[in-house]
Structure 1
């Protein structure tokens, strides 16, 4: 039984090592932006709480799972927000937890446009239980528990309910967490470029496209685009396309300040992966806006 478990985990490690060349991001970046760029909290200055979960390769133990969470309150008189962001990833015997606090401030640069800046600081904690694979095998190293500090920043140009363009570095590592080891996580600095817009197609229909580009010095750049069509700002349906071939169907519901999103992602060209495990990924996002408005951007 032990050998079967090792073969199983070894197969997962081989597949995830290929996948680790891509950053783990969520498809609902057009709706839940603060976890990518804290400066986006200024677009919802009355305050918001959001959480999103992503489960890859459903049905396989140890497959990548990611949770993001954020919450902020606003100070409208100062055009500022403050809040926290949390991220937790798990893959096989490794886990990564990040938490940071942020402060954001906007400046009005024209009659309708604003420039927002944010700063964040926190920590990253890695927990690698490598001895669980086989403590008697020297090929597997000892357990690793490491903590490191991180800082970050974000900038965003936006016009409320019309468009936004942002650049963020939410994780600037101050140490060497995970560097040079056998971890399948990547702790290098991550950069995100985001953009989105909202178009009114008459009184009852809206169209919201958005893009996300993620870059790290040790990962292949990843680009993706999403597009959702909404009916009376309440129900939206659309598609997400990634640069490595993944496709996702998306749905969004908005009601009384509550936003509920779901996406089903798969890679239609990943035949080798399909022979081993399912490449299906499920993603659920939930948010609550304190002002209970039906704004889409």
Structure 2
């Protein structure tokens, strides 16, 4: 038992170091990204043409103490003139002794094309980062080692473009444009700091009718961060009767995921995904679970159906 406990702690430390050095954990990662696009691309605001709210809770690497947990709450709508979309999202990202949370407001402007809409979007808000050394449970505490906790409030800005038709979408976005410093300290008498790294995203997807009740919906998401190897997420899914959705995803970090969504009512959607890592970490956790609730709030303008994106 002690050996397993030490292995879990070692894996957590490795994950923490990887998150800081490679910036891989600075921005949230979602398996159900195709239903949560506002947190990746501000130009998506208003694209559903109805007031939409999404609540997502992600439990990563269940069974490892201090493993990441991410909660996001987002909402967006289209204004009456059909050209302006507004939105906002809140998030809280925990991993071990670190907590990264913030709020972002969103504005998008849409231009109608012959086939669909092309939109530009901007997000602006604040991030609040904390690192609590007391949250690290050590069996043999070091009385000499007593570093100060890190607390840092910094502004943040994201930009994006997005194009959508009835059966196709594509988008490009960049997050954490300001690259603000969010952690600092002294190592061997020298000042050190950690900066927010810019993240670049490219996404696309389409809806291909198989027959009157079945639609094939492939999609892809690519994330690029500095010198880190790009992360690619490929998804293949099927929609049955505009009610039940099921699919599989493959991520380049040797991760396979199962996804499903069920439309409970015209305005309420329930989603779930399960990630399984195909590497040594699989032996020490029970996978990653992601739960999502989507609300399409009725307005004077009824939602167009079917709504594939």
> Does the TM-score normalized on the shorter chain lie above 0.5?
yes
CA contact (8 A) 2:63 2:286 kept: no
Residue of structure 2 in register with 1:173 after alignment: 178
CA contact (8 A) 1:86 1:100 kept: yes
Query: Superposition pairs for residues 58-97 of structure 1, below 5 Å?
Result: 58-97=62-101
- Provide TM-score, normalisation by structure 1: 0.87
| Deviations 1:169-208, CA, capped at 9 Å, x for gaps | 232235211378899x972111111111111111111111
Report deviation, 1:248: 0.4
Query: Superposition pairs for residues 1-297 of structure 1, below 5 Å?
Result: 9-18=9-18, 21=22, 22-23=24-25, 24-109=28-113, 111-133=114-136, 136-139=142-145, 141-159=147-165, 161-173=166-178, 175-178=180-183, 187-217=196-226, 219-254=228-263, 255-268=265-278, 270-271=279-280, 273-275=281-283, 277-278=284-285, 280-290=287-297, 291=302, 293-297=305-309
The 2-side partners of 1:11 and 1:100 are apart by: 32
CA contact (8 A) 1:35 1:69 kept: no
The 2-side partners of 1:55 and 1:45 are apart by: 30
CA contact (8 A) 1:234 1:294 kept: no
Structure 1 pair 216–137 and aligned structure 2 pair: CA distance change class (3 A): farther
The 2-side partners of 1:251 and 1:286 are apart by: 12
Gaps of 5+ in 1: none
In structure 2, the residue corresponding to 1:72 is in which secondary structure? strand
Between the two proteins, the alignment pairs up a number of residues equal to: 289
| Deviations 1:65-113, CA, capped at 9 Å, x for gaps | 112221122213142111112221101111000211011110013x222
| Deviations 1:143-178, CA, capped at 9 Å, x for gaps | 11101001111101111x211110112322352113
| Deviations 1:198-245, CA, capped at 9 Å, x for gaps | 111111111111111111115332111111111101001110100111
Structure 1 pair 125–5 and aligned structure 2 pair: CA distance change class (3 A): farther
The 1-side partners of 2:236 and 2:260 are apart by: 11
Report deviation, 1:56: 1.0
RMSD value, Cα: 2.8
The 2-side partners of 1:35 and 1:119 are apart by: 11
| Deviations 1:227-274, CA, capped at 9 Å, x for gaps | 111110100111010011100011111231212111111112x13x24
- Provide TM-score, normalisation by structure 2: 0.84
In structure 2, the residue corresponding to 1:43 is in which secondary structure? coil
Report deviation, 1:6: 8.9
Report deviation, 1:45: 2.2
Structure 1 pair 244–5 and aligned structure 2 pair: CA distance change class (3 A): closer
The 2-side partners of 1:287 and 1:73 are apart by: 14
Gaps of 5+ in 2: none
Report deviation, 1:41: 2.2
